[in-house]
Amino acid sequence: MTATMNGNGVQPHEEKVPHTPLDAEDDVDDGEEDGVPEAGAGGDSKKKKKKKKPKKKKATEQQSEPPRVGLSKLFPDGNYPEGELHEYKDDNAYRTTSEEKRYIERTIMQDPEQTYNNIRKGAEVHRQVRQYARKVIKPGMSMIDIAETIENGTRALVEENGLEAGVGFPTGLSVNNCAAHYSPNSGDTKVLQNGDVLKVDFGVHVKGRILDSAFTLNFDPTYEKLIEAVQAATNTGVREAGIDVRLGELAGYIQETMESYEVEINGKLVPVKPIENLSGHSINPYQIHAGKSVCLVKNNDQTKMEEGEYFAIETFGSTGRGRVIESGEVSHYAKVVDAPNVPLRLTSAKSLLKSINKNFGTLPWCRRYLERTGESRYLLALNHLVSQGVVQDYPPLCDAPGAMTAQFEHTILLRPTRKEIVSRGDDY
């Protein structure tokens, strides 16, 4: 989801391993890398590594438009496409061929609670829904229509089932100087305008494994360099992230990329600034912010990324001051993971908490989602839960008026053998 608030050049080509298309042919060779003789200097032959090809699978059905076909029908064997794979560097390069690490991965895939297939299913849902959303979102659409376009597709494709599978968090549709945590509440009449810069941030979860990814849309070329800067910064973060990487150093790489860009506005060059008090984050089952932060400005955080963790690499850039404050009507909420067991004096608050536990657990939600469960006239009870520290509210986060902000985000898995950018697709 969106970012955590905290106190504190040219990108190399990355080779992609594409996700499986829905009309892919039958399986191709999926063996280990093998040697192919290649003539060298002096007539010697040396071995050239043959790249491992991703296993393709044939879908039994095609996706509809708008997307409504559940993924179990498109992937009946229950195996979902890998994301983009990257080998680890330096001291971790051995992991790719390590038999011990391969064994650990096989064990994970056999454990129904740990299998990567859950997050890969969420990733495939996200890819298909966002590719449709990028085609249909246009100026003149209301924010509620945009949110429901995304959420209806997500629920259908993931085959929503209580806390087993569904929407991962509220659909973020923050516009212009608002960087994060805006989703329309019921009755919101806001309409997307031609000059708007729209951040689209939505998530999918399967058995609590949350896929978190975001992109930015604009309809006026003025801010294309801003968007390019933020996408490049996210790609830098994805490329440099890995096991044993220190979070403070990773932030420095992101900052350097972001600050290498400028935007021309009314004939004046304006630097792109990373938003210093927003960050990416580690993700745990049913917990979108798991404790580790990937900041956007270099700092002294010596915390390391570790094997088995997964992170939302999320960057925000701004043409303004590069710092956000809370501003506007709240839409986002979540039950606190270690919420205190406090006596609630309002009967309505007790009832609302039961509904939250049943429908969302510790996953984030918004007011529209509460109403979808049948709740009404709940604001007094909700405010009581917030005041008692049981529920956390997340107001919109905004830079100075007149500034423009952009966001890109990918979810990465730090597998024992390789880094997997689970959410990568053909669109970004």
pLDDT digits (tens, 9 = 90+) for 363-404: 999 999 999 999 999 999 999 999 999 999 999 999 999 999
Is residue 67 very low, low, confident or very high in pLDDT (cuts 50, 70, 90)? very high
Backbone φ, ψ for residue 106 (5° rounding): -60, -40
Is 191 in the same domain as 137?
yes
Is 361 in the same domain as 317?
no
Is 269 in the same domain as 124?
yes
Residue 91 lies in a domain: no
Residue 264 lies in a domain: yes
Q: List the beta strands (DSSP E) in 69-208.
A: 84-86, 165-167, 178-180, 197-206
pLDDT digits (tens, 9 = 90+) for 139-195: 999 999 999 999 999 999 999 999 999 999 999 999 999 999 999 999 999 999 999
Tokens of 137: 């979102």
Q: Is 409 annotated in some ligand binding site?
A: yes
Residue 376 lies in a domain: yes
Is 222 in the same domain as 284?
yes
Please, what is the end-to-end C-alpha distance for the chain in angstroms?
Answer: 18
Is 266 in the same domain as 286?
yes
Residue 155 lies in a domain: yes
Residue 248 lies in a domain: yes
Cα–Cα distance list, 412 to 84, 313, 325, 359, 394 (Å): 9, 7, 28, 27, 24
Catalytic residues: 201, 212, 281, 289, 314, 409
Is 271 in the same domain as 369?
no
Is 361 in the same domain as 244?
no
CATH number assigned to the domain comprising residue 307: 3.90.230.10
Cα–Cα distance list, 423 to 213, 244, 381, 427 (Å): 7, 22, 37, 11
Q: Is 86 annotated in some ligand binding site?
A: no
Residue 361 lies in a domain: yes
In this predicted structure, the answer to whether residue 41 has a pLDDT above a threshold of 60 is no
Is 320 in the same domain as 378?
no
Is 383 in the same domain as 234?
no
Is 242 in the same domain as 341?
no
Tokens of 109: 């895939």
Is 135 in the same domain as 279?
yes
Q: Domain containing 367: what range?
A: 332-394
Maximum Cα–Cα distance across the chain: 86
Residue 63 lies in a domain: no
Residue 249: in which H helix or E strand, if any? helix 247-258
Number of domains making up the chain: 2
What's the one-letter identity of residue 250? L
Is 371 in the same domain as 282?
no
Q: Is 314 helix (H, G, I), strand (E, B) or coil?
A: strand
Mean pLDDT of the chain: 90
Q: Is 212 annotated in some ligand binding site?
A: yes
pLDDT digits (tens, 9 = 90+) for 295-334: 999 999 999 999 999 999 999 999 999 999 999 999 999 9
Q: Is 29 annotated in some ligand binding site?
A: no
Question: At CA 275, angle to CA 324 and CA 412, rounded to 5?
Answer: 120
Look-up of token digits 């009755």: 187
Residue 237 lies in a domain: yes
